[in-house]
């Protein structure tokens, strides 16, 4: 039964997770490589976290600086905007680089990119709009902290605070769609899946980079990967990569206890809302509804899903700092989930089910840096 307690909760997939074959557009990585300031983000070896998890190796993909922004989200936003514009207006010159594409788009302006956000996706859409010479209108929930609102506004976007939850902002953004307002959402709804599909595709660059970095550093493929989940789009990308034929990596989903829509859906066997208000400090994960595009893959591709209290995220932010990674609250959530699962309340059962031993290799994605700098210095004193 689902309760509103702050205690950690877990769901284990009763069936072995599915293998999936996904065909990716092979232009994605090349497109990202062509963006101004592109460089692969760091893959960090994390011995403190490994000791805490009771495994041999932990790798942390550090997304605290991605294309000039403090989160991974611009990978999805840039690719989705590019593909949507290309689909709507064509790309007769065959441009693949944003600045060249921007010139061609002038014939179609004024155009406004619209997005609902818990913070990072909206800022990323606003940045892409700026790079393309387009307007941005970003809708945020009423409880977003000032630092995140200011960061979005600093990209030149018009920011609208919606009275309500993140899910209310998604509905409000969808209502703004028209000829001159392109909604760039990282979650899907009935009749709207094309753009979020491209957002998920865009995240694949993270895993292409990790594969190359592990090969270079002589690291083993991970036995377990954790994916923190808001609407589940990032986790969908993780499942697509690590549940592909030839990979037997387990994927574990992680949410805050107060916004556990995927966990509730897994328990119910059908999409189920986590009613608001969602007050976790893991702000990017404060979502009441799972993306219906991600849901089928999460249902069959996750080996387990865990909901963690804020205290776990804070604990693991401090651990990651010891390993040299600045990780915000949502950024650290994946590692926090693994701490709960492999070394906390559920350790015995989880280690047995996932086959985790002291010799295992684990991968986490630190999906953001200190996106709320004041909170970061309170949680990780002496850093930030």
Ligand X SMILES: Cc1ncc(COP(=O)(O)O)c(C=O)c1O
For binding to ligand X (CB under 6 A), which residues are involved? 71, 118-121, 186, 228-235, 284-285, 330-331, 367-368
- Torsion angle, alpha carbons of 203, 206, 209, 211, to 10: -100
Which residues sit opposite 189 in a β-bridge? 192
The CB-nearest residue to ligand X is 284
Shortest reach from residue 293's CB to ligand X, in Å? 10
Neighbours of 241 (CB within 10 A): 22
Shortest reach from residue 298's CB to ligand X, in Å? 10
Q: Where are the beta strands (DSSP E) in 153-284?
A: 158-162, 181-183, 224-228, 250-256
Which residue's CB is nearer to ligand X, number 331 or number 384?
A: 331
CA proximity to 43, closest of 239, 219, 237, 284? 219
Which residue's CB is nearer to ligand X, number 112 or number 330?
A: 330
Residue 355 Cα distances to 11, 48, 60, 347, 360, angstroms: 16, 21, 20, 11, 9
Residue 373 Cα distances to 62, 126, 287, 379, angstroms: 17, 20, 22, 10
Shortest reach from residue 180's CB to ligand X, in Å? 26
Largest separation between any pair of C-alpha atoms in the chain: 61
Q: Before 102, cis peptide (omega within 30)?
A: no
CA proximity to 169, closest of 197, 201, 130, 143? 143
Which residue's CB is nearer to ligand X, number 141 or number 230?
A: 230
Shortest reach from residue 358's CB to ligand X, in Å? 29
Which residue's CB is nearer to ligand X, number 165 or number 367?
A: 367
Catalytic residue chosen out of the listed positions 73, 167, 260, 310: 73
Which residue's CB is nearer to ligand X, number 49 or number 105?
A: 49
- Distance CA(147)–CA(155), nearest Å, equals 13
- Distance CA(121)–CA(368), nearest Å, equals 11
Burial of 144 (0-12, 13-18, 19+ CB in 10 A): buried
Phi first, then psi: what are they for 19, rounded to 5°? -95, 145
- Residue 248 annotated among the catalytic residues of the structure: no
Shortest reach from residue 366's CB to ligand X, in Å? 9
- Distance CA(256)–CA(330), nearest Å, equals 9
Shortest reach from residue 70's CB to ligand X, in Å? 9
Shortest reach from residue 230's CB to ligand X, in Å? 3
- Residue 260 annotated among the catalytic residues of the structure: no
Which residue's CB is nearer to ligand X, number 105 or number 140?
A: 140
Number of alpha helices (DSSP H) and beta strands (DSSP E) in the chain: 15, 11
Catalytic residue chosen out of the listed positions 57, 61, 62, 118: 118
Neighbours of 373 (CB within 10 A): 15
DSSP state of 15: S
Which residue's CB is nearer to ligand X, number 105 or number 229?
A: 229
Catalytic residues: 73, 118
């Amino acid at each position: 039964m689902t309760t509103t307690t702050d205690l950690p909760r877990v769901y284990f997939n009763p069936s072995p997770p599915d293998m999936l074959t996904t065909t990716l557009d092979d232009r994605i990585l090349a497109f990202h490589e062509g963006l101004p300031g592109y460089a692969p983000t760091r893959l960090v070896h994390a011995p403190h976290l490994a000791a805490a998890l009771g495994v041999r190796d932990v790798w942390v993909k550090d997304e605290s600086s991605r294309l000039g922004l403090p989160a991974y989200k611009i990978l999805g936003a840039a690719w989705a905007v590019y593909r949507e514009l290309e689909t709507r207006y064509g790309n007769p010159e065959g441009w693949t680089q944003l600045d060249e594409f921007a010139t061609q788009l002038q014939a179609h302006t004024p155009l406004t990119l619209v997005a609902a956000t818990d913070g990072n996706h909206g800022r990323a859409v606003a940045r892409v709009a700026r790079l393309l010479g387009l307007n941005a209108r970003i809708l945020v929930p009423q409880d977003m902290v000032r630092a995140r609102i200011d960061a979005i506004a600093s990209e030149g976007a018009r920011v609208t605070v919606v009275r309500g939850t993140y899910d209310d902002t998604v509905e409000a953004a969808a209502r703004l769609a028209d000829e001159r307002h392109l909604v760039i959402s990282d979650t899907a709804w009935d009749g709207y899946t094309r753009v979020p599909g491209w957002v998920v595709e865009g995240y694949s660059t993270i895993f292409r980079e990790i594969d190359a970095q592990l090969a270079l550093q002589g690291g083993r493929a991970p036995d377990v990967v954790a994916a923190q989940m808001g609407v589940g789009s990032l986790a969908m990308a993780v499942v697509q990569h690590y549940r592909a034929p030839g990979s037997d990596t387990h994927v574990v989903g992680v949410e805050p206890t107060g916004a556990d829509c995927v966990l509730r859906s897994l328990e119910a066997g059908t999409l189920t809302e986590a009613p608001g208000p969602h007050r976790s400090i893991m702000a990017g994960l404060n979502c009441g509804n799972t993306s219906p595009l991600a849901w089928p893959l999460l249902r069959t591709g996750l080996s387990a899903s865990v909901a963690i209290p804020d205290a776990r995220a804070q604990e693991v932010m401090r651990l990651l700092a010891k390993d040299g990674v600045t990780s915000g609250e949502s950024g650290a959530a994946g590692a926090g989930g693994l701490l709960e699962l492999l070394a906390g309340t559920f350790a015995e059962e989880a280690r047995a089910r996932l086959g985790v031993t002291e010799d295992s290799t684990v991968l986490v994605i630190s999906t953001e840096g200190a996106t709320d700098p004041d909170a970061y210095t309170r949680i990780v004193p002496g850093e930030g």
